[in-house]
Protein backbone atom coordinates (compact mmCIF):
# COMPACT_ATOMS: atom_id res chain seq x y z
CA UNK A 1 0.00 0.00 0.00
CA UNK A 2 1.37 3.42 -0.92
CA UNK A 3 1.70 6.41 1.39
CA UNK A 4 -1.03 8.15 -0.62
CA UNK A 5 -3.43 5.42 0.48
CA UNK A 6 -2.49 5.66 4.15
CA UNK A 7 -2.77 9.36 4.91
CA UNK A 8 -5.50 11.98 4.87
CA UNK A 9 -9.18 12.33 5.74
CA UNK A 10 -11.14 9.64 3.96
CA UNK A 11 -14.04 8.76 6.24
CA UNK A 12 -12.00 6.06 7.97
CA UNK A 13 -11.08 4.24 4.76
CA UNK A 14 -7.57 3.60 3.44
CA UNK A 15 -8.67 3.26 -0.18
CA UNK A 16 -7.11 5.40 -2.93
CA UNK A 17 -8.39 8.97 -3.30
CA UNK A 18 -9.80 8.22 -6.76
CA UNK A 19 -12.00 5.58 -5.11
CA UNK A 20 -13.97 8.37 -3.43
CA UNK A 21 -14.92 9.83 -6.83
CA UNK A 22 -15.45 6.78 -9.03
CA UNK A 23 -16.37 3.19 -8.18
CA UNK A 24 -14.74 1.53 -11.20
CA UNK A 25 -11.25 0.10 -11.14
CA UNK A 26 -8.61 2.77 -11.92
CA UNK A 27 -7.38 0.84 -14.96
CA UNK A 28 -10.91 0.62 -16.37
CA UNK A 29 -11.52 4.30 -15.59
CA UNK A 30 -8.34 5.23 -17.45
CA UNK A 31 -9.24 3.10 -20.47
CA UNK A 32 -12.98 3.70 -20.81
CA UNK A 33 -13.71 7.10 -19.25
CA UNK A 34 -10.67 9.35 -18.79
CA UNK A 35 -11.02 12.11 -21.36
CA UNK A 36 -13.72 10.14 -23.21
CA UNK A 37 -17.03 9.67 -21.39
CA UNK A 38 -19.04 11.10 -18.52
CA UNK A 39 -19.41 8.80 -15.52
CA UNK A 40 -22.11 8.94 -12.82
CA UNK A 41 -21.46 7.11 -9.54
CA UNK A 42 -24.09 6.87 -6.81
CA UNK A 43 -23.44 7.25 -3.08
CA UNK A 44 -24.14 3.61 -2.28
CA UNK A 45 -21.15 2.70 -4.49
CA UNK A 46 -18.88 5.30 -2.92
CA UNK A 47 -18.86 7.29 0.25
CA UNK A 48 -21.54 5.80 2.45
CA UNK A 49 -24.06 7.68 4.64
CA UNK A 50 -21.75 10.58 5.53
CA UNK A 51 -20.98 11.40 1.91
CA UNK A 52 -18.29 14.03 1.54
CA UNK A 53 -18.99 16.18 4.59
CA UNK A 54 -15.57 15.36 6.01
CA UNK A 55 -14.10 17.30 3.07
CA UNK A 56 -16.44 20.29 3.30
CA UNK A 57 -19.81 20.92 4.98
CA UNK A 58 -22.31 23.80 5.17
CA UNK A 59 -20.90 24.58 8.62
CA UNK A 60 -17.40 24.76 7.12
CA UNK A 61 -18.70 27.15 4.43
CA UNK A 62 -20.10 29.41 7.17
CA UNK A 63 -16.74 29.38 8.90
CA UNK A 64 -14.87 30.23 5.71
CA UNK A 65 -17.22 33.10 4.87
CA UNK A 66 -17.35 34.62 8.35
CA UNK A 67 -14.17 33.82 10.28
CA UNK A 68 -11.30 33.14 7.89
CA UNK A 69 -10.79 36.63 6.47
CA UNK A 70 -11.27 35.49 2.85
CA UNK A 71 -10.27 37.88 0.09
CA UNK A 72 -10.88 37.81 -3.62
CA UNK A 73 -10.42 35.71 -5.67
CA UNK A 74 -11.20 33.02 -3.07
CA UNK A 75 -14.89 33.93 -3.45
CA UNK A 76 -16.84 34.54 -6.63
CA UNK A 77 -20.57 35.33 -6.74
CA UNK A 78 -22.84 34.66 -9.73
CA UNK A 79 -26.40 35.86 -10.15
CA UNK A 80 -28.67 35.01 -13.10
CA UNK A 81 -25.71 33.74 -15.11
CA UNK A 82 -23.61 36.88 -14.49
CA UNK A 83 -20.51 37.07 -12.31
CA UNK A 84 -20.89 40.01 -9.92
CA UNK A 85 -18.08 42.52 -9.40
CA UNK A 86 -16.04 41.90 -6.24
CA UNK A 87 -17.15 45.27 -4.88
CA UNK A 88 -20.65 43.80 -4.41
CA UNK A 89 -19.48 41.53 -1.59
CA UNK A 90 -16.12 42.85 -0.32
CA UNK A 91 -14.92 45.78 1.72
CA UNK A 92 -12.32 46.95 4.21
CA UNK A 93 -10.85 44.57 6.76
CA UNK A 94 -11.38 46.83 9.75
CA UNK A 95 -8.94 48.29 12.24
CA UNK A 96 -5.37 47.16 11.80
CA UNK A 97 -6.04 45.40 8.48
CA UNK A 98 -5.33 47.63 5.54
CA UNK A 99 -7.23 45.39 3.15
CA UNK A 100 -9.86 46.70 0.78
CA UNK A 101 -11.11 43.42 -0.69
CA UNK A 102 -12.00 41.25 2.30
CA UNK A 103 -15.21 39.23 2.00
CA UNK A 104 -18.02 40.82 4.02
CA UNK A 105 -20.24 38.13 5.48
CA UNK A 106 -23.49 40.11 5.71
CA UNK A 107 -23.17 41.29 2.08
CA UNK A 108 -22.66 37.70 1.00
CA UNK A 109 -25.66 36.57 3.05
CA UNK A 110 -27.97 39.09 1.38
CA UNK A 111 -26.81 38.16 -2.12
CA UNK A 112 -27.27 34.46 -1.39
CA UNK A 113 -30.73 35.08 0.11
CA UNK A 114 -31.69 36.87 -3.11
CA UNK A 115 -30.71 33.86 -5.22
CA UNK A 116 -27.00 34.27 -5.98
CA UNK A 117 -24.64 31.30 -6.22
CA UNK A 118 -21.47 31.42 -4.11
CA UNK A 119 -18.28 29.94 -5.53
CA UNK A 120 -15.48 29.30 -3.05
CA UNK A 121 -12.33 29.02 -5.13
CA UNK A 122 -8.89 27.55 -4.50
CA UNK A 123 -9.98 25.43 -1.56
CA UNK A 124 -7.01 23.13 -2.19
CA UNK A 125 -4.95 26.01 -0.76
CA UNK A 126 -7.01 27.13 2.24
CA UNK A 127 -9.16 24.32 3.73
CA UNK A 128 -7.12 21.57 5.46
CA UNK A 129 -9.24 18.49 4.59
CA UNK A 130 -9.26 19.53 0.94
CA UNK A 131 -5.56 20.40 0.96
CA UNK A 132 -4.85 16.81 1.99
CA UNK A 133 -7.42 15.03 -0.18
CA UNK A 134 -6.62 17.04 -3.32
CA UNK A 135 -2.92 16.33 -2.81
CA UNK A 136 -3.63 12.60 -2.69
CA UNK A 137 -5.91 12.73 -5.74
CA UNK A 138 -3.35 14.75 -7.70
CA UNK A 139 -0.71 12.18 -6.78
CA UNK A 140 -2.79 9.34 -8.15
CA UNK A 141 -3.77 11.16 -11.33
CA UNK A 142 -0.27 12.62 -11.70
CA UNK A 143 -1.93 15.85 -12.75
CA UNK A 144 -2.32 19.26 -11.07
CA UNK A 145 -5.79 20.15 -9.90
CA UNK A 146 -7.85 22.87 -8.25
CA UNK A 147 -10.89 22.66 -5.97
CA UNK A 148 -13.95 24.94 -5.98
CA UNK A 149 -17.19 24.67 -4.01
CA UNK A 150 -20.55 25.82 -5.38
CA UNK A 151 -23.35 26.80 -2.98
CA UNK A 152 -26.63 27.38 -4.84
CA UNK A 153 -29.95 28.47 -3.32
CA UNK A 154 -33.01 26.27 -3.81
CA UNK A 155 -34.34 26.27 -7.35
CA UNK A 156 -31.52 28.41 -8.74
CA UNK A 157 -29.07 27.82 -11.55
CA UNK A 158 -25.65 29.37 -11.03
CA UNK A 159 -24.36 29.37 -14.60
CA UNK A 160 -25.82 28.87 -18.06
CA UNK A 161 -24.97 25.76 -20.07
CA UNK A 162 -21.24 25.80 -20.78
CA UNK A 163 -18.18 23.58 -20.99
CA UNK A 164 -14.89 23.60 -19.13
CA UNK A 165 -11.45 23.33 -20.69
CA UNK A 166 -10.36 20.90 -17.98
CA UNK A 167 -11.74 17.59 -16.70
CA UNK A 168 -13.84 17.76 -13.53
CA UNK A 169 -14.90 15.48 -10.71
CA UNK A 170 -18.11 16.68 -9.02
CA UNK A 171 -18.83 15.52 -5.45
CA UNK A 172 -22.31 16.33 -4.12
CA UNK A 173 -22.02 17.35 -0.45
CA UNK A 174 -25.42 18.71 0.62
CA UNK A 175 -28.86 19.03 -0.95
CA UNK A 176 -29.72 17.93 -4.47
CA UNK A 177 -28.89 19.31 -7.87
CA UNK A 178 -30.14 18.43 -11.33
CA UNK A 179 -27.43 18.15 -13.99
CA UNK A 180 -28.17 18.25 -17.71
CA UNK A 181 -25.18 17.06 -19.72
CA UNK A 182 -24.62 17.10 -23.47
CA UNK A 183 -21.79 15.76 -25.60
CA UNK A 184 -19.14 18.27 -26.75
CA UNK A 185 -19.53 20.74 -29.57
CA UNK A 186 -15.71 20.85 -29.54
CA UNK A 187 -14.09 17.68 -28.19
CA UNK A 188 -11.07 18.18 -25.91
CA UNK A 189 -10.90 21.99 -26.10
CA UNK A 190 -7.70 23.82 -25.19
CA UNK A 191 -7.72 26.57 -22.55
CA UNK A 192 -7.78 29.19 -25.29
CA UNK A 193 -10.92 27.60 -26.77
CA UNK A 194 -13.39 28.60 -24.06
CA UNK A 195 -17.10 28.05 -24.59
CA UNK A 196 -17.87 31.76 -25.01
CA UNK A 197 -16.48 31.66 -28.53
CA UNK A 198 -19.07 29.03 -29.40
CA UNK A 199 -21.98 30.35 -27.35
CA UNK A 200 -24.54 29.99 -30.14
CA UNK A 201 -23.55 26.40 -30.86
CA UNK A 202 -23.51 25.57 -27.16
CA UNK A 203 -26.97 27.10 -26.67
CA UNK A 204 -28.43 25.24 -29.64
CA UNK A 205 -27.01 21.92 -28.47
CA UNK A 206 -28.36 22.52 -24.96
CA UNK A 207 -31.89 22.78 -26.41
CA UNK A 208 -31.65 19.20 -27.67
CA UNK A 209 -31.92 15.92 -25.76
CA UNK A 210 -29.36 15.49 -23.01
CA UNK A 211 -26.83 12.66 -22.95
CA UNK A 212 -27.34 12.54 -19.19
CA UNK A 213 -30.13 14.14 -17.12
CA UNK A 214 -29.65 13.27 -13.45
CA UNK A 215 -30.23 14.56 -9.94
CA UNK A 216 -27.19 14.31 -7.67
CA UNK A 217 -27.87 13.62 -3.99
CA UNK A 218 -25.38 13.77 -1.10
CA UNK A 219 -22.59 11.27 -1.67
CA UNK A 220 -23.10 11.04 -5.45
CA UNK A 221 -20.22 11.82 -7.81
CA UNK A 222 -19.92 12.76 -11.46
CA UNK A 223 -16.92 12.80 -13.80
CA UNK A 224 -16.99 15.04 -16.87
CA UNK A 225 -14.21 15.19 -19.47
CA UNK A 226 -13.28 18.64 -20.73
CA UNK A 227 -15.60 19.93 -23.41
CA UNK A 228 -18.77 18.20 -22.17
CA UNK A 229 -21.63 20.69 -21.90
CA UNK A 230 -23.36 20.97 -18.56
CA UNK A 231 -25.73 23.06 -16.49
CA UNK A 232 -26.81 22.45 -12.92
CA UNK A 233 -29.85 23.61 -10.94
CA UNK A 234 -30.56 23.20 -7.22
CA UNK A 235 -33.83 21.45 -6.52
CA UNK A 236 -36.13 22.08 -3.55
CA UNK A 237 -33.32 22.95 -1.17
CA UNK A 238 -29.90 24.54 -1.20
CA UNK A 239 -27.15 22.60 -2.92
CA UNK A 240 -23.46 22.37 -2.08
CA UNK A 241 -21.03 20.50 -4.30
CA UNK A 242 -17.28 20.32 -4.81
CA UNK A 243 -15.64 20.47 -8.21
CA UNK A 244 -12.11 19.17 -8.71
CA UNK A 245 -10.71 20.63 -11.92
CA UNK A 246 -7.86 18.59 -13.43
CA UNK A 247 -5.51 20.67 -15.57
CA UNK A 248 -3.65 18.13 -17.64
CA UNK A 249 -1.03 18.90 -20.27
CA UNK A 250 -2.06 18.14 -23.84
CA UNK A 251 -0.29 17.06 -27.01
CA UNK A 252 -0.70 20.64 -28.16
CA UNK A 253 1.57 21.62 -25.28
CA UNK A 254 4.14 19.23 -26.74
CA UNK A 255 3.71 20.92 -30.13
CA UNK A 256 4.19 24.36 -28.57
CA UNK A 257 7.41 23.29 -26.88
CA UNK A 258 8.68 21.61 -30.04
CA UNK A 259 8.11 24.82 -31.98
CA UNK A 260 10.05 26.74 -29.35
CA UNK A 261 12.95 24.31 -29.73
CA UNK A 262 12.69 24.50 -33.53
CA UNK A 263 13.99 28.07 -33.36
CA UNK A 264 17.48 26.53 -33.37
CA UNK A 265 17.00 25.47 -37.02
CA UNK A 266 18.30 28.04 -39.50
CA UNK A 267 15.92 26.93 -42.26
CA UNK A 268 12.97 27.70 -40.01
CA UNK A 269 14.42 31.09 -39.09
CA UNK A 270 14.85 32.09 -42.73
CA UNK A 271 13.25 35.32 -43.94
CA UNK A 272 10.39 34.96 -46.41
CA UNK A 273 11.25 36.00 -50.01
CA UNK A 274 11.60 39.65 -50.94
CA UNK A 275 8.28 41.37 -51.85
CA UNK A 276 6.23 38.25 -51.06
CA UNK A 277 2.49 39.00 -50.86
CA UNK A 278 1.52 37.04 -47.77
CA UNK A 279 -2.17 37.53 -48.62
CA UNK A 280 -1.79 35.61 -51.91
CA UNK A 281 -2.33 31.83 -51.48
CA UNK A 282 -0.45 31.09 -54.70
CA UNK A 283 2.66 32.88 -53.42
CA UNK A 284 2.36 31.32 -49.98
CA UNK A 285 1.98 27.75 -51.30
CA UNK A 286 5.67 27.09 -52.11
CA UNK A 287 6.75 28.68 -48.83
CA UNK A 288 4.34 26.40 -46.98
CA UNK A 289 5.81 23.37 -48.74
CA UNK A 290 9.38 24.42 -47.92
CA UNK A 291 8.52 25.24 -44.29
CA UNK A 292 6.74 21.92 -43.74
CA UNK A 293 9.72 20.08 -45.22
CA UNK A 294 12.16 21.98 -43.00
CA UNK A 295 10.02 21.35 -39.93
CA UNK A 296 9.70 17.65 -40.77
CA UNK A 297 13.47 17.33 -41.16
CA UNK A 298 14.05 19.10 -37.84
CA UNK A 299 11.47 17.01 -35.99
CA UNK A 300 13.36 13.85 -36.95
CA UNK A 301 16.32 15.22 -34.96
CA UNK A 302 14.37 16.55 -31.96
CA UNK A 303 15.93 15.54 -28.64
CA UNK A 304 13.45 13.96 -26.15
CA UNK A 305 15.65 15.13 -23.27
CA UNK A 306 15.36 18.77 -24.37
CA UNK A 307 11.60 18.41 -24.80
CA UNK A 308 11.29 16.79 -21.36
CA UNK A 309 13.23 19.69 -19.82
CA UNK A 310 10.82 22.23 -21.31
CA UNK A 311 7.74 20.24 -20.32
CA UNK A 312 9.18 19.84 -16.83
CA UNK A 313 9.55 23.61 -16.48
CA UNK A 314 5.96 23.99 -17.64
CA UNK A 315 4.40 21.29 -15.46
CA UNK A 316 6.30 21.45 -12.18
CA UNK A 317 5.18 24.92 -11.01
CA UNK A 318 1.49 24.09 -11.52
CA UNK A 319 1.33 21.84 -8.45
CA UNK A 320 2.46 22.96 -5.01
CA UNK A 321 4.02 20.46 -2.59
CA UNK A 322 2.56 19.77 0.84
CA UNK A 323 2.37 22.71 3.28
CA UNK A 324 5.28 23.35 5.64
CA UNK A 325 4.83 24.72 9.16
CA UNK A 326 7.61 27.34 9.33
CA UNK A 327 8.10 27.56 13.11
CA UNK A 328 7.94 23.81 13.73
CA UNK A 329 10.19 23.12 10.74
CA UNK A 330 12.91 25.51 11.92
CA UNK A 331 12.71 24.28 15.50
CA UNK A 332 13.10 20.69 14.28
CA UNK A 333 16.12 21.66 12.17
CA UNK A 334 17.77 23.48 15.08
CA UNK A 335 17.33 20.51 17.43
CA UNK A 336 18.19 17.86 14.82
CA UNK A 337 20.06 14.75 15.98
CA UNK A 338 21.37 11.66 14.14
CA UNK A 339 18.46 9.69 15.64
CA UNK A 340 15.78 11.87 14.00
CA UNK A 341 14.00 10.75 10.84
CA UNK A 342 13.21 12.89 7.81
CA UNK A 343 11.55 12.44 4.45
CA UNK A 344 11.03 14.27 1.17
CA UNK A 345 8.39 17.00 1.27
CA UNK A 346 5.45 15.30 -0.39
CA UNK A 347 4.73 16.48 -3.91
CA UNK A 348 8.07 18.26 -4.35
CA UNK A 349 9.54 17.62 -7.79
CA UNK A 350 13.30 17.33 -8.01
CA UNK A 351 16.14 16.35 -10.29
CA UNK A 352 19.88 16.02 -9.63
CA UNK A 353 22.32 17.00 -12.39
CA UNK A 354 26.10 17.42 -12.57
CA UNK A 355 27.16 20.90 -11.54
CA UNK A 356 30.77 20.94 -12.70
CA UNK A 357 33.68 21.86 -10.41
CA UNK A 358 33.13 18.61 -8.48
CA UNK A 359 29.54 19.51 -7.51
CA UNK A 360 25.96 18.40 -8.10
CA UNK A 361 22.88 20.58 -8.52
CA UNK A 362 19.47 19.84 -7.04
CA UNK A 363 16.86 21.33 -9.38
CA UNK A 364 13.34 22.10 -8.10
CA UNK A 365 10.43 24.28 -9.26
CA UNK A 366 11.44 27.15 -6.97
CA UNK A 367 15.15 27.14 -7.83
CA UNK A 368 18.38 25.19 -7.49
CA UNK A 369 20.74 24.16 -4.70
CA UNK A 370 24.40 23.23 -5.19
CA UNK A 371 26.23 20.59 -3.14
CA UNK A 372 29.69 18.96 -3.15
CA UNK A 373 29.71 15.90 -5.41
CA UNK A 374 30.41 13.59 -2.47
CA UNK A 375 26.90 14.41 -1.13
CA UNK A 376 25.17 12.88 -4.16
CA UNK A 377 24.66 9.40 -2.70
CA UNK A 378 23.16 10.81 0.53
CA UNK A 379 21.03 13.26 -1.47
CA UNK A 380 19.55 10.64 -3.76
CA UNK A 381 18.86 8.41 -0.77
CA UNK A 382 17.10 10.96 1.41
CA UNK A 383 15.03 12.22 -1.54
CA UNK A 384 13.69 8.78 -2.48
CA UNK A 385 10.38 9.35 -0.64
CA UNK A 386 11.10 7.00 2.25
CA UNK A 387 11.71 7.93 5.87
CA UNK A 388 15.43 8.14 6.65
CA UNK A 389 17.21 8.18 10.01
CA UNK A 390 19.72 11.02 9.71
CA UNK A 391 22.55 8.89 11.12
CA UNK A 392 21.96 6.24 8.43
CA UNK A 393 22.46 8.47 5.37
CA UNK A 394 25.05 6.79 3.12
CA UNK A 395 28.10 8.25 1.44
CA UNK A 396 29.12 10.66 4.22
CA UNK A 397 31.96 10.04 6.65
CA UNK A 398 30.42 11.15 9.92
CA UNK A 399 27.30 12.44 11.67
CA UNK A 400 28.32 16.13 11.61
CA UNK A 401 28.31 16.04 7.77
CA UNK A 402 24.93 14.28 7.79
CA UNK A 403 23.50 16.89 10.15
CA UNK A 404 24.81 19.80 8.05
CA UNK A 405 23.28 18.36 4.86
CA UNK A 406 19.96 17.51 6.49
CA UNK A 407 19.61 20.88 8.23
CA UNK A 408 20.14 22.67 4.94
CA UNK A 409 17.52 20.55 3.22
CA UNK A 410 15.08 21.17 6.08
CA UNK A 411 15.66 24.94 6.00
CA UNK A 412 15.18 24.95 2.23
CA UNK A 413 11.85 23.07 2.73
CA UNK A 414 13.07 20.09 0.71
CA UNK A 415 12.77 17.67 3.62
CA UNK A 416 10.23 17.53 6.44
CA UNK A 417 10.11 15.56 9.69
CA UNK A 418 8.96 11.99 9.05
CA UNK A 419 5.70 11.08 10.75
CA UNK A 420 6.09 8.31 13.30
Question: Over its length of 420 residues, how does the chain's per-residue pLDDT go in tens digits?
Answer: 233 333 333 444 457 899 999 999 999 999 999 999 999 999 999 856 578 999 999 999 999 999 999 999 999 999 887 899 999 999 988 777 778 889 999 999 999 999 999 999 999 999 999 999 999 999 999 999 999 999 999 877 767 899 999 999 999 999 999 999 999 999 999 999 999 899 999 999 999 999 999 999 999 999 999 999 999 988 988 999 999 999 988 999 999 999 999 999 999 999 999 999 999 999 999 999 999 999 999 999 999 999 999 999 888 888 889 999 999 999 999 999 999 999 999 989 999 999 888 999 999 998 999 999 999 999 999 999 999 999 999 999 899 999 999 999 999 999 999 986
DSSP codes, 14-45: -S-GGGGT--S-HHHHHHHTTTT--EEE-GGG
Instruction: Please give the radius of gyration of the chain, using alpha carbons only, rounded to the nearest integer.
Output: 26
The arrangement of strands across the sheet holding 341-344 comes to 388-389, 341-344, 415-417
CB 232 within 8 A of CB 149: no
CB atoms within 10 A of CB 14: 11
Torsion, Cα of 383, 384, 386, 392 (10° steps):
-70
Q: Is 356 left (phi over 0), alpha (psi -120 to 50) or beta?
A: left
Strand 239-246, strand 367-372: pairing:
unpaired
Q: For residue 207, give the nearest of 180, 177, 172, 186 by alpha carbon.
A: 180
DSSP codes, 174-191: ES-EEEEEE--SSSS--T
Amino acid sequence: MTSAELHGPDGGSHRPALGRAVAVDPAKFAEAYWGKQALLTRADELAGPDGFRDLLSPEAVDELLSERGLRTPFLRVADKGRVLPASAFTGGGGAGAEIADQVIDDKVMKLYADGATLVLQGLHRIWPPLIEYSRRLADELRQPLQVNAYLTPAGNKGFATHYDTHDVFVLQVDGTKRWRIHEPVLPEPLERQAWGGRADEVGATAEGPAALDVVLSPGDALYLPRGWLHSAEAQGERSLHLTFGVRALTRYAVVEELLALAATDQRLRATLPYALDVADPDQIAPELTETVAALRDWLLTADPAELAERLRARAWPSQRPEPVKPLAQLAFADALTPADTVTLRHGLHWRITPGGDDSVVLRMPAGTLRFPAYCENALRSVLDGNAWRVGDLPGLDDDPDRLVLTRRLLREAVLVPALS
